[in-house]
Amino acid sequence: MTAFDLGRRVDGAVCPIATITHLSPEELVRHFEAMGEHLRDGSAYLVQLPLYDEASVAAGIPASRWETEGDSPLRIDWTTEKVDLAAGRAFQRSRIEILDGPRRGEVVVEDHEMTAWMPETWATVIAASPFATQQVFDGEEEPPVPSEDATGGLLWYELTREARAY
């Protein structure tokens, strides 16, 4: 996610389901630089992630559950076990159950140490990137549209590639 070359520029990109939380702040800066090289000026980059603060951590982070379909259907449970705001880390657990096929009943459980993005750390990285925030939304309702410093569950951030200085 931090060093790649597609060999061309594109009109837009999407980074769903908090994939960005796998990156440290330094890695996210490099990711945005790489994405910026591949997006045309004015192009949108949609990024989905949660932002945390004391209140959202105290309220508890809701678990996610979804199922896939197809030849090997899966049931995925994703929980946030602990958030350490001082260290900027979120400790999460995934549980993947295979629902059908030759591996039916098999379960894979993994622990993940992720970056816990807070409004101020996210804003600092965005300010250092070739992107500007256009809008923030929850993907469920409109309006109201959450603010740039909204915290809690997964939110979508529409970032726009700023014009390059030539």
Task: Please provide the DSSP assignment of 126-166 as one string.
Answer: HHTSSEEEEEEE-SS--SSPPPTT--SS-EEEEEEEPPPP-
Task: Supply the pTM of this predicted model.
Answer: 0.84
Indicate the DSSP class of residue 60: -
Cα separation, 77 vs 48, in Å, equals: 18
Average pLDDT over residues 65-81: 93
- Residue 78 · residue 110 · CB < 8 Å: no
Segment 93-150, tens digit of pLDDT: 999 999 999 999 999 999 999 999 999 999 999 999 999 999 888 866 655 566 766 7
CA angle in degrees (0–180, nearest 5) for 32-29-49: 70
Of the two residues 143 and 26, the one the predictor is more confident about is: 26
Partners of 67 in beta bridges: 75
The domains located in the chain, with CATH, are 10-51+117-161 (3.40.50.150), 55-115 (2.20.25)
User: What is the average pLDDT score of the chain?
Assistant: 90
